[in-house]
Structure 1
Amino acid sequence: MEAISDTSKTVPVLKNRNFLLLFIGSIFSAPGYYIYLIAAEWLMLTISENRVYFGMLFFAASVPRLLLLAVGGVVADRFNKRTILFIADSLRALFIAALLLFLYLNMVTVWHLIILAALFGIADAFSYPVTNSMTPLLLEEDQLQQGNSFIQMTMQISPILGPALGGVLLAVLGFKGVFSVACVMLLIGALTVLFIQLKQEKEESDAHSPWKDLKEGFLYVRQSDFIVSIMFIAFFINFFFSGPFSIGMPIIVKDVFDGSAISLATVQTAMGLGAMLGAILLAVKKVTNYRKVILVSLLVVGCLYTFIGMSNQLYMSAILVLCMAVLLQFVNIPIFTILQKTVDKSMLGRIMGLLITVTTGLIPISYVATSTLIALGVDIRYIMIGGGIFIVIIAMISFNFKRLRNLEIS
């Protein structure tokens, strides 16, 4: 298990050297990641008219991520988290460099993009548990909501700066310029986290086998009514939201709004801006009634998502996406804060890995189902409307979950 050095304790969040380095590293790596994503999405739409391939791009990234997230959680608890983040961001930069080489050789095909998506999914499986379990090692318990909010700000700057910069670079420099910038930003992010000071503490549990560590994580989850309830809700929410929204918005922008890469960047920037605004609000205001905030926000998210499917105007859709993104933060940040406060730090990597594994478990199926419905001729807008209705239903049912009625943090 890792612990922070004594110099990073009992200081304000943004004056904490280690946390500030994590903060700065995220500012570079997260936008760089999204610059790559928007360019890869638009490149796929450009080189192939078959929208099934576009759905496969998401499926290829989600499958290895799903299969390896639990393993990534075990690795996060057994090895230095700083090193894991450095390796993950460095590998992403290397993958983009490989794509640049194929671009210069004029050899890029849909299968190159799909394979790279799978490699990014593997890197994600090891970085996600670390990212969501590192903050408690850098901050005091009463600073966690604020710290999580700041990290979410940096992560949500990515859908703002990433698509905006990516769209501009596509128009000015083309795909080579976009991928070059993304590669450099990920390298800077990787180098920044190397300066975080974490010390490794020796524990008897270090002798445990990885399989035993994984089993301990499963047993820990089974003993927590809150974690089980959250997994149940998020499992189905992700099915109705992730596939239709991720695949649907680029298709709607191109095929319904007859938009360009800049149009897609507008919608994705609205998503990032809304998420950042939600994170800012939670950085300055502490949540008291977690159950009410989480479930009411989820209910309204479902309504807004339904309206997005009905919208026929680009800017109206962008506004709805912005509002929805604000409220999604009022679901996500309180959940992670509760887990970081209540879960033993020696188990946090595994719990985060298992939580993300279960909550994203239906995402690959969601991508396949969405792509299949599109291939069968179902309008993507009807798919999104149906998904929004189901999210509303799930939120209403969740109000009656006994396990969530008395959700408090002592």
Structure 2
Amino acid sequence: MPETPNSTSDTSHRLGVLRHRNFALFWFSLVFSHSGTWMQLTVVGWLVFDMTNSPAWLGVVGASRAAPMIVLPFFGGVIADRMDRRLLLWITQSGQALLGLTLALLVATDLVLVWHIIVVMFLGAIIEAVDQPTRQAIVPLLVPRIDLRKAIALHAVVFSGGALVGPAVAGLLAPAVGLATVLFINVASFVPVFIALPLLHLPRFEPRQHEPVLTSVKDGLHFAFTRELIVVVILVSAVGSLFGRSYQLLAPVFAREVLLTDITGLGWLASAPGLGAVLGAFAIASARWLPANGRLTGFSVAGYLLALVGFAISNNFGLSVLLLVLVGLLNTVFSAAVRTMLQLEAPEQYYGRVMSLNTITFIGLAPLGSLIIGAIAELAGIQLATLIGATVVAIVFSFAWLTQPALRNAS
């Protein structure tokens, strides 16, 4: 029998959310796919920094993903609310695989230039603007409502958790088999998603009459921005992404200029937040009790900033890796709390549009943040630039926490 959000579940069972067949199929296939994506991101970061020796150019490449991921996800959310979400995922995942193949061929034939990488990243972001809200909107259909926070926690980790395996494997394989082979492995990593999608038991998609797209966008924005909690959560998430999450995209600078390591060391640095993300997600998924979501955001942001400051001033490779594990863990806790608050605040017909705002803040603004922090790093160095960013996040979040009871008291 297909699982529905109204079915019963053994919530006392450790990691019970993965006992739901639909969610397990979906989750494991995405972990494979995003591990490959992180292999590609690791290769791209190293390649761009090797070609340009410039933190600012790394920021530009990262920012090439920003415009589509800021402007388009809300339209992607509208599409996710009015089309068969399984079909949408077929389309988006196929598009990402084709772009990955194009990049692999360019590197294999030694024709790749920085502008090629920028174009591939830009087009990939356009596809991701539809893919992200669609994946987030499908999660409530895969588990009972009582398990939603656990499912969101594990789903939140599929991208950052892919960093647990992808960068380390890329760093180990690249010196042995070359950058192009690593990129071809990324293309193959999409296969599990194509296997899993037809196996999901989902409610039958029923086409409904919809208002025009722009009307739907306006309605969704009106709903979101008349809900105090949604506005505050989106604001603090946006500032966090702009000023506090550039450590991943700018990791090649830390690797070469601060920690004096090679692409293998970069792989371990990029994998460390992924390990933390996995630990954080499974901690939430297995916990018998957690603080209310509002308080959980406060605890996680405070710990996250302390770990990020420690990483920024560290010149020891081992300590830096450990601190990034902690950064990844606390970022995942924060992300799960935010997504849960948003989805519990929105009725089903608004899931795609509301979660598209989450996509904009967590994924769209982070590349733009890398451009900001990268530009500062060009002038003041990557360590000071990271400290400046952490300070901005601390000031804004503290103000929101002290002045907005909707955030502090969110359930």
Q: Using structure 2 for the length normalisation, give the TM-score.
A: 0.91
> SS of the residue aligned with 2:112?
coil
Name the amino acid aligned to 1:64: P
5 Å matches for 1:395-410? 395-400=397-402, 401-408=404-411
CA contact (8 A) 1:8 1:138 kept: no
Alignment: residue pair count? 402
CA contact (8 A) 1:29 1:190 kept: no
CA contact (8 A) 2:4 2:143 kept: no
Structure 2: gaps of 5 or more residues: 11-16
Q: 1:257 is matched with which residue?
A: 259
CA separation of 1:268 and 1:334: change in aligned 2, threshold 3 A: same
CA contact (8 A) 1:38 1:163 kept: yes
Q: CA deviation at 1:170?
A: 0.4
Name the amino acid aligned to 2:299: V
CA separation of 1:371 and 1:146: change in aligned 2, threshold 3 A: closer
Q: 1:320 is matched with which residue?
A: 323
CA separation of 1:41 and 1:359: change in aligned 2, threshold 3 A: closer
Structure 1: gaps of 5 or more residues: none
Q: 1:167 is matched with which residue?
A: 171
> SS of the residue aligned with 1:265?
helix
Matched, 1:231 2:240: no
> SS of the residue aligned with 1:399?
helix
Moved more, 246-255 or 134-143: 246-255
CA separation of 1:373 and 1:150: change in aligned 2, threshold 3 A: closer
Identity of aligned residues (%): 22
> SS of the residue aligned with 2:311?
helix
Q: 1:290 is matched with which residue?
A: 293
**What is the rounded CA distance, in whole Å, between the counterparts of 1:156 and 1:359 in structure 2?**
11
CA separation of 1:224 and 1:185: change in aligned 2, threshold 3 A: same
CA separation of 1:42 and 1:248: change in aligned 2, threshold 3 A: closer
Q: 2:351 is matched with which residue?
A: 348
Q: 2:22 is matched with which residue?
A: 18
Q: 1:301 is matched with which residue?
A: 304
Matched, 1:198 2:196: no
Q: 2:13 is matched with which residue?
A: none
Q: CA deviation at 1:6?
A: 5.8
**What is the rounded CA distance, in whole Å, between the counterparts of 1:53 and 1:16 in structure 2?**
44
Q: CA deviation at 1:332?
A: 1.0
Q: 2:244 is matched with which residue?
A: 241
**What is the rounded CA distance, in whole Å, between the counterparts of 1:275 and 1:6 in structure 2?**
27
Q: CA deviation at 1:200?
A: 4.0
Q: CA deviation at 1:223?
A: 2.2
CA separation of 1:172 and 1:52: change in aligned 2, threshold 3 A: same
CA separation of 1:365 and 1:61: change in aligned 2, threshold 3 A: closer
Moved more, 64-73 or 288-297: 288-297
> SS of the residue aligned with 1:407?
coil
**What is the rounded CA distance, in whole Å, between the counterparts of 1:63 and 1:226 in structure 2?**
26
Q: CA deviation at 1:299?
A: 1.5
**What is the rounded CA distance, in whole Å, between the counterparts of 2:170 and 2:83 in structure 1?**
34
Q: 1:40 is matched with which residue?
A: 44
CA separation of 1:339 and 1:85: change in aligned 2, threshold 3 A: same
**Deviation readout 1:74-113 (Å, 9 max, x if unpaired):** 1110111112222222111111111222223221111111
CA separation of 1:231 and 1:6: change in aligned 2, threshold 3 A: closer
**What is the rounded CA distance, in whole Å, between the counterparts of 1:163 and 1:41 in structure 2?**
11
**What is the rounded CA distance, in whole Å, between the counterparts of 2:363 and 2:153 in structure 1?**
22
Q: 1:209 is matched with which residue?
A: 212
CA contact (8 A) 2:373 2:389 kept: no
Which of residues 311, 314, 318 in structure 1 aligns to 2:314?
A: 311
Q: CA deviation at 1:298?
A: 0.5
Q: CA deviation at 1:201?
A: 4.4
Q: CA deviation at 1:242?
A: 2.8
Q: 1:186 is matched with which residue?
A: 190
CA contact (8 A) 1:235 1:361 kept: no
> SS of the residue aligned with 1:246?
coil
Name the amino acid aligned to 2:348: K
Q: 2:281 is matched with which residue?
A: 279
CA contact (8 A) 2:34 2:158 kept: yes
CA separation of 1:153 and 1:78: change in aligned 2, threshold 3 A: same
Which of residues 107, 112, 133 in structure 2 aligns to 1:108?
A: 112
**What is the rounded CA distance, in whole Å, between the counterparts of 2:299 and 2:4 in structure 1?**
40
Q: CA deviation at 1:369?
A: 2.3
Q: CA deviation at 1:362?
A: 4.7
